[in-house]
A = this chain, B = another copy of it.
Amino acid sequence: MAKKDKIRRPKAETPKGFRDYFGAEVTQRKAMLDAIAEVYHLYGFEALESSAVETVESLGKFLPDVDRPNEGVFAWQEDEDADWLALRYDLTAPLARVYAQHRNELPTPYRRYAMGPVWRNEKPGPGRFRQFYQCDADTVGTASVAADAEICAMLADTLEAVGIERGDYIIRVNNRKVLNGVLEVAGLAGDDKARERGIVLRAIDKLDRLGIGGVRALLGEGREDKSGDVTEGAGLNDAEISIIMSFVQAFDKAQQRLALEATAAFDEGNEDRGKQLDRARNCVMDETRDLYLGDIEAHSIWTDRVLNVLQEITGHSAVGLEGVNELRSIAALNKSSGYADGRIVIDPSVVRGLGYYTGPVYEAELTFDVQNEKGQTVQFGSVAGGGRYDDLVTRFTGQPVPATGVSIGVDRLLAALIAKGRIDKTPAGPVVVTVMDRDRMADYQTICATLRQAGIRAEVYLGNPKNFGNQLKYADKRGSPAAIIQGTDEAARGVVQVKDLILGAKLAQEASLEEWKENPSQTEVPLADLVPFLQKLLA
């Protein structure tokens, strides 16, 4: 017998950091994910839905910036003998497990896409939830950078498919090997330099925000921001700083060279060549980028010069040279498939946070302006990223299995689409068939069934029909485009009144008393004509 506690009502609340999604919030996200899945499928990727629950052992400890086991994930143990289980925190760790488990049956390369919720046991904050969607595509089992190049092209197609226009996004590509190369050349490759490497990579990652001076400060003594907060520096010497900064300023260097080349061409009287070189010089700069979108030749020259600069800096390191050559291959592949026209660009400032990347890394940035929470105008920023992670499956099998993939930040991309007005925020509610006469419910259901059979979203008002005003309030709350009214009189004459609620709402705001009295938002319609009448109204 259970003890009888005092009756205590449970709190009706989502757990802290969780939320519910209603109506359009669900269907808008779904429509976006459907559009993404269609592109992924077109590119040859197959769907995979792995279980939401994994053993803690197989998930491993891949969450960055987390030291304790199980930290960052929701985990539990049924009893002392059972495996610890946990909710997946991303879609990549489960992919590694799936591939290791099923590799004998799966084709190689294994190309899969996955979308669904992931869970993080982290401190929630504004707009930061403990359950959110991810949407990934990965190619497992190939070392070819053609797989990386392809994912960049797919990312461009995906963004356009969901409604981000060409010119409003840019896919930036870099290579961890190039970053490792410059660190090696700067003498920071050793085990004892892990702290310095971390600071250097984070500083490069912040180039956009801090500018050249800020990055330089972080490489040296450190940096004090406006609020007085001090960020510790890497403490590099001048020679080391100089190497890293030449890398950070690779774009400036390439621009300077192209300016010299262009000047020389003009001096030689070769105006066409000069203009071409000048276009190349400006084709990826924030201010002029839009002008050269689609100019494959300008981007090709630009890419070549940037890669030359990178090779000069990192080419003395074997890994650095390998990285530059991989970037050359990616650039060539993207050029031949037509995507290296400003949509996809090589950019040495791309770092990507996750520790496990081993080769090419890429991210998609939206370049249009939005207001941030402080009311400042800022670029929308990153909505997707990924890269090559050749060691993820190794922990299961002992074998290296090269892989590369991308993850789209579903909520951020959806927010971008809403910000750009690409999504109708208030999709139409159902036509509401009101109940004037409780005993004639069957008639109202019949009208409603007729509308549904014609594909018109409709429902009979199912609440208490006593107060007719409540029925119209309900229709209003549902965003109904029209209400159908049929009293005894109308029924006898075989007609209904159709109340155009959208026009009605407009009139309520704008109409003069006269207009209002004419009541143009209400029309008597023969029952037999109701379907075509509504089809016209809803069109």
Complex contacts, A141 vs chain B, CB 8 Å: 463
Name the residue on B nearest A26 (C-beta). Answer: B47
Total copies of the chain: 2
In contact, A446 and B337 (Cβ under 8 angstroms): yes
Min Cβ gap A207→B in Å is: 31
The digit string for A43-55, where 1 denotes a CB below 8 A from any CB of B, is 1101111111111
- Which residues in B have their C-beta under 8 angstroms from that of A98? 12, 20
- A333 touching B445, Cβ below 8 Å: yes
The chain B residue sitting closest to A117, CB to CB, is B52
Instruction: Give the segment of A104-112, A368-376, A416-424, A486-494 that binds chain B.
Output: A104-112
Contacts of A241 in B (CB 8 A): none
The segment from A75-83, A217-225, A273-281, A312-320 that touches chain B is A75-83
* Cβ proximity bits A18-62 to B, threshold 8 Å, 1 near / 0 not: 111111011100100000000001111011111111110110100
Q: Are the CB atoms of A10 and B51 closer together than 8 Å?
A: no
Q: Is A460 a contact of B146 with CB atoms below 8 Å?
A: yes
Q: Are A51 and B19 in contact (CB under 8 A)?
A: yes
Contact of A52 among B131, B338, B442 (CB under 8 A): B131
Is residue A74 contacting chain B, with contact meaning CB distance below 8 A?
yes
Minimum CB–CB distance from A446 to chain B (whole Å) comes to 5
Nearest to A447 among chain B residues (CB) is: B337
Evaluate whether A100 and B12 lie within 8 angstroms (CB atoms) in the complex, with A51-B18, A150-B460, A474-B107 already known.
yes
**Best-surrounded residue of A108, A441, A462 (most CB of chain B within 10 A):** A462
Identify A57's interface contact among B11, B42, B131, CB under 8 A: B11
> A199: shortest Cβ distance to chain B, in Å?
21
Cα distance A464–B452 when bound, in Å? 54
Measured CB to CB, the closest approach of chain B to A157, in angstroms, equals 8
Within the complex, the shortest CB–CB distance from A149 to chain B, in Å, comes to: 7
Output the nearest chain B residue to A111 by Cβ-Cβ distance: B459
* Chain B residues with CB under 8 A of A10: 55, 57-58, 60, 395-396
What are 15 A-B contacts defined by CB distance under 8 Å? A9-B395, A13-B55, A18-B51, A22-B47, A22-B102, A26-B47, A27-B47, A43-B457, A44-B459, A74-B85, A142-B462, A146-B462, A153-B449, A336-B446, A337-B445
Q: Which 10 A-B pairs have the closest CB atoms?
A: A44-B459, A76-B76, A12-B100, A44-B430, A26-B47, A336-B442, A18-B51, A337-B449, A12-B101, A107-B477
Where the two chains meet, the residues of A that have a C-beta atom closer than 8 Å to any C-beta of B are 2, 9-15, 18-23, 25-27, 30, 41-44, 46-55, 57-58, 60, 67, 74-76, 78, 83, 85, 87, 97-98, 100-102, 107-109, 111, 117, 119, 121, 130-131, 139, 141-142, 144, 146-147, 149-150, 153, 157, 329, 332-333, 335-339, 395-398, 429-430, 432, 441-443, 445-446, 448-449, 452, 455-460, 462-464, 474, 477-478
